[in-house]
Amino acid sequence: MWSHVIGAGLMHLVCIAAPFTFSWSGLGVAAALWWLAGGVGICLGYHRLLCHRSFAVPRF
């Protein structure tokens, strides 16, 4: 799957450029988006699991 390999390689190249393009406002936006995406993702995952039983998880 070369598209995945190329995508991952491009992402690593962009990450190498990150220290040279740092800004505090960019860091704030990244932190807000990370919090929003993580919070919404967890809530939607629990909603799908508890309300719809649309996927199976192991019992711990």
Query: Given this model, what pLDDT does residue 7 score?
Result: 96
Other Cβ atoms less than 10 A from the Cβ of 10: the count is: 10
How far apart (Å, rounded) are the C-alpha atoms in residues 38 and 45? 10
Helix, strand or coil for residue 53? coil
- Name the residue ranges covered by the structural domains of the chain: 23-60
Query: Given this model, what pLDDT does residue 10 score?
Result: 96
Query: Given this model, what pLDDT does residue 31 score?
Result: 95
pLDDT means per 10 residues, the chain with 60 residues, are 96 92 94 93 89 84
Query: Given this model, what pLDDT does residue 59 score?
Result: 84
Contacts of 57 (CB under 8 A, 6+ apart): 49
Handedness of CA 10, 11, 16, 22 (dihedral sign): positive
Tokens of 24: 């505090």
Query: Given this model, what pLDDT does residue 28 score?
Result: 96
